[in-house]
A = this chain, B = another copy of it.
Amino acid sequence: GAAPAVHAQAAVRWRLASSFPKSLDTIYGAAEVMSKAVRAMSGGKFEISVHAGGELMPPFGVVDGVQNGTVEMTHTVPYYFYGKNPAFALGSAIPFGLNARQMTAWMMHGNGRKLMNELYATYGMVSYAGGNTGVQMGGWYRKEIKSLADFKGMKMRLGGGLVGEVMQGLGAVPQSIPGGEIYQALEKGTIDAAEWVGPYDDQKLGFNKVAPYYYYPGWWEGGPEVDFYANQKAVDSLSAENKAILETACAMASTDMLAKYDAFNPTALKQLVAAKTKVLPFPQDVLEGSFKAAMTVFEANNAKSPEWKKIYADLRNFQRDQVLWFRFAEAKFDSFMATRKL
């Protein structure tokens, strides 16, 4: 018979600069889950080495790193780059935005991925889903929150530029503090409050010992998407097989991260409660006042950034229908189950 058609595929070696420390095993770990799948599917012919935040470049320097080709890829949170263009935030989470399922639906079968990639193309990048944490918690507070007025003058550690602007609208004073220094700042009282992620990640840092009030929900992160960004030219140089392998591995790793958070958060929450954490909902006027403050910032962004304006309008339009639909079967099922003794 004829000789089989064989072809040698050149090995491809990429480097990925993460924005996350290894200690955040769920978030950081998604890049390793992706990399491992790429290696397995390509039989080792496509390798992506994963480097923790700070190892190759500063955690917030990763977009520059991908844009100028220092690394082929990053794993990061789009809203970190709010300062480059407010529209980046729309690729991860905006206050009172989509929940995790809605975000995935907008990205995969709404206009989300397409619109965000139009923005990223101006940075020479293309994006892939890289995980989601689900609704985050609203942070740790040294004192009980009784009303919106308690945010006036509050020094609070916050993770992003957009939520910082909204919090300023409430009279709070946003603080930028690395994860490793938050505990001490709360203990000394140089800050009054700090948000991090949710029970599983927060528990590791021991905040409950110095700020026992743990509020929910983190209205600024209803379903924050973490993303992989890849350098467009590097992607263009991949074989069709490797392009598909990269895209599929990212989708799997993204789902895997949310599943990890969902599986691991409950145990951490129970342990935090057992350790005398006071888990409380934000008072209604805090949510309403924050919603109003967010809308003011969004309006300002509409005037500042045409990219924000275009993508925000699409997201809100999608969200309107999502919120309508989730009120029916999903909300009713979950709320009934919450009343059952299982």
Q: B329–A216 contact, CB under 8 A? A: yes
How distant is A56 from chain B, measured CB to nearest CB, in Å? 26
Which of chain A's residues 5-36 have a Cβ closer than 8 Å to chain B? 5-8, 10
Give every chain B residue within 8 A of A275 (Cβ-Cβ). Answer: none
Stretch at the interface among A171-179, A300-308, A333-341: A333-341
Which residue of chain B is the closest to A250 with respect to CB atoms?
B252
* Complex: A37 Cα to B100 Cα, angstroms: 24
> How many copies of this chain sit in the oligomeric assembly?
2
Q: Is A169 an interface residue (CB 8 A)?
A: no
Q: B101–A287 contact, CB under 8 A? A: no
Give every chain B residue within 8 A of A258 (Cβ-Cβ). Answer: 101, 104-105
* Complex: A247 Cα to B13 Cα, angstroms: 23
Q: Is A231 an interface residue (CB 8 A)?
A: no
Give every chain B residue within 8 A of A108 (Cβ-Cβ). Answer: 255-256, 259-260, 263
Contacts A216-B332, A217-B330, A222-B337 known; list 20 others, CB within 8 Å. Answer: A6-B6, A37-B248, A43-B240, A96-B337, A96-B340, A99-B333, A99-B337, A104-B258, A108-B263, A109-B256, A135-B329, A217-B328, A217-B329, A251-B255, A255-B255, A262-B322, A262-B325, A269-B325, A279-B328, A287-B336
The 6 closest A-B pairs by CB, nearest first: A266-B321, A40-B244, A109-B263, A105-B262, A4-B8, A217-B333
